A and B are shown apart, each in its own frame.
Chain A
Amino acid sequence: DTAVSQTPKYLVTQMGNDKSIKCEQNLGHDTMYWYKQDSKKFLKIMFSYNNKELIINETVPNRFSPKSPDKAHLNLHINSLELGDSAVYFCASSQRTISYEQYFGPGTRLTVT
């Protein structure tokens, strides 16, 4: 049983396109996150939702827009993709009270050409 799943696993697209990444968790957690991992493997939080409410919104370009239709889903839409957006994007989830214990998805490797 997959705890945190993401689709797609790989995404190759051209500059200027719009793309979405979907995330679902079946752990019953109330908090979900998006992280970006760059080529040096540095993990940086982008967004966090608790019970569908946006609670962390890091300094990311407005081209990135998260959407949480319900507690189990958190999607990431990216407009006007740029070369610098190429990275691995991870979705994660946790219970808000145990937020140091996060469960990560398998990642989506985005390559912008």
Chain B
Amino acid sequence: QQQVKQSPQSLIVQKGGISIINCAYENTAFDYFPWYQQFPGKGPALLIAIRPDVSEKKEGRFTISFNKSAKQFSLHIMDSQPGDSATYFCAARGFLKTSGSRLTFGEGTQLTVNP
């Protein structure tokens, strides 16, 4: 119930192409769906987040598409650049009675953008 499934595990895209990473969840009580970006040797950093009552959110070249009925959401990176090469994590925020809110992360996608 608390799991978030992410695919693909790795993705190679040419510069200027579109990178698409997908995530699926089961728990309908999740209330926020953030994406984090992690460069080698660094901690993850919030990239963009969406609420389940919104179908799409765009920030610059990054767009989240959200399909509530299918319980899926995806990250689209338009005009992918070599500097976008990083590991991307989807996540979902859920609440437990005993411990309040927590983020559950997907398994991560290693994105490589070739010049």
Binding site for B on A (CB under 8 A): 4, 40-45, 48, 50, 55-57, 90, 92, 96, 99-107
CA gap between A70 and B29 in the complex, in Å: 32
Min CB distance, B98 to chain A, in Å? 9
In the complex, the answer to whether B93 meets A104 with C-beta atoms within 8 Å is no
Provide the residues of chain B in CB contact with A50, threshold 8 Å: 100
Provide the residues of chain B in CB contact with A4, threshold 8 Å: 43
- Among B41, B87, B103, the most chain A Cβ lie within 10 Å of the Cβ of B103
Tell whether A42 pairs with B108 under 8 Å between CB atoms, given A100-B32, A100-B34, A107-B42. yes
Binding site for A on B (CB under 8 A): 32-34, 38, 41-46, 49, 87, 89, 91, 93, 99-103, 105, 107-108, 110
In the complex, the answer to whether B105 meets A43 with C-beta atoms within 8 Å is yes
In the complex, the answer to whether B99 meets A56 with C-beta atoms within 8 Å is yes
CA gap between A44 and B44 in the complex, in Å: 13
Provide the residues of chain A in CB contact with B42, threshold 8 Å: 106-107
Tell whether A99 pairs with B43 under 8 Å between CB atoms, given A40-B107, A56-B100. no
Min CB distance, B4 to chain A, in Å? 11
CA gap between A102 and B45 in the complex, in Å: 8
CA gap between A4 and B46 in the complex, in Å: 14
